[in-house]
Copies of this chain bind each other. A is one copy, B any other.
Amino acid sequence: MKNVKFSHLLEKYEVILFDSYGVLRNYNGIIEGVHETVQKILERNIPYRVLTNDASSGPNLLSQKFKTRGLNIKEEYIITSGMMAKSFLSSKSINGKVLYLGTSNSSEYIIEAKKQAISISEYQEYNFDEIGCVVFLDDEGFNWSTDINKVVNLLRKKTIPVIVANSDRIYPVSKNEVSIATGAIAQLVESILIRQFIHFGKPDIQMFSYAYDDLINEIGEFDKSSMLMVGDTLHTDILGGTKFGLDTLLVLSGNTSLANAESLIKSTGIAPDYICDSIKW
């Protein structure tokens, strides 16, 4: 592991994958130095993608949020875990409606996959027969105690695919506070049913594979060894990037402090190739 400046790595790597939260933005807005770095990347035509464990809304909305804050990240360059769920729903035979836990924003992934969506908050016992799939999209948009119990009881009686469109278990809501995320709610249901659902999102390599194929379409064949994954979380960004065969950079502008990083790398064995404070130029 080497401590480096982000800009120096661009001498070695030609293509960059960024995590979003903790790398580009946080609960406060755009992270210091990121406006300038994105500007340089655009000027130099460096191919990049943003890979985010997010199924709360589509890439169009995420792109708009960046633009509102002065960051020019194209919708087409944002790859969400929700898109992996959408791809699953599109290709796989589903017999019936897709029951979802999340807000109506999140349900767009289902509708775009040309499936019928029904929210857990609307679900009644008489809907039982028409459900063909369950999707965990977001931690909001439903009542935790009543609606999670509904899902448990439905899945005790029915063997249908269940997908988790974002496996993150917490997300930061301020400097020191976190909130329980979709992945943890899904895991609660899994542990009660003693089942393992189908999970999308980093560290799974599916988003990396999608990004790689997409970049080859844009710039032609290139070697994975010239692509760098940049993230703030060891067990999603760094593990996933490593597993896909990429070199990785851990930035300390998000989830992980330097002291934390050192102790976690030792205890988990997940090691980035480089560490730096942020992607500030």
The chain A residues found within 8 Å of chain B, CB to CB, are: 87-88, 90-93, 139, 144-145, 148-149, 152-153, 155-157, 159-162, 169-170, 176-180, 184-185, 187-188, 191-198, 204-206, 209, 213, 223-225, 239, 242-243, 245-247, 263, 265-271, 273
Told that A155-B269, A196-B268 touch, could you supply 9 new A-B pairs with CB distance under 8 A? A88-B243, A144-B148, A152-B170, A153-B178, A157-B176, A161-B271, A184-B188, A205-B205, A213-B213
Hey, which chain B residues are within 8 Å of A242, CB to CB?
A: 92, 161, 198
Hey, which chain B residues are within 8 Å of A176, CB to CB?
A: 153, 157
Contact A184 B180 (CB under 8 A): no
In the bound complex, what is the Cα–Cα distance between A246 and B205 (angstroms)?
Answer: 17
Q: In angstroms, how far is the closest chain B Cβ from the Cβ of A60?
A: 23
Contact A169 B198 (CB under 8 A): no
Q: In angstroms, how far is the closest chain B Cβ from the Cβ of A222?
A: 11
Contact for A149 among B153, B179, B263, CB less than 8 A: B179
In the bound complex, what is the Cα–Cα distance between A246 and B204 (angstroms)?
Answer: 17
Contact for A178 among B152, B162, B178, B239, CB less than 8 A: B152
Hey, which chain B residues are within 8 Å of A90, CB to CB?
A: 225, 245
In the bound complex, what is the Cα–Cα distance between A46 and B177 (angstroms)?
Answer: 48
In the bound complex, what is the Cα–Cα distance between A225 and B93 (angstroms)?
Answer: 8
Hey, which chain B residues are within 8 Å of A269, CB to CB?
A: 155, 159-160, 162, 193, 195-197
In the bound complex, what is the Cα–Cα distance between A3 and B49 (angstroms)?
Answer: 44
In the bound complex, what is the Cα–Cα distance between A205 and B213 (angstroms)?
Answer: 15
In the bound complex, what is the Cα–Cα distance between A271 and B197 (angstroms)?
Answer: 11
Hey, which chain B residues are within 8 Å of A268, CB to CB?
A: 195-196
Q: In angstroms, how far is the closest chain B Cβ from the Cβ of A84?
A: 9
> Among the interface residues A87, A91, A161, A170, which one has the most CB atoms of the partner chain B within 10 A?
A91
Contact B149 A180 (CB under 8 A): yes
Contact for A267 among B148, B267, B270, CB less than 8 A: B267
- Return the chain B residue nearest A195 by Cβ: B269
Contact A243 B205 (CB under 8 A): no
> Among the interface residues A145, A160, A176, which one has the most CB atoms of the partner chain B within 10 A?
A145
- Return the chain B residue nearest A243 by Cβ: B198
Top 5 nearest A-B pairs (CB, nearest first) are A91-B245, A91-B224, A144-B144, A195-B269, A144-B145
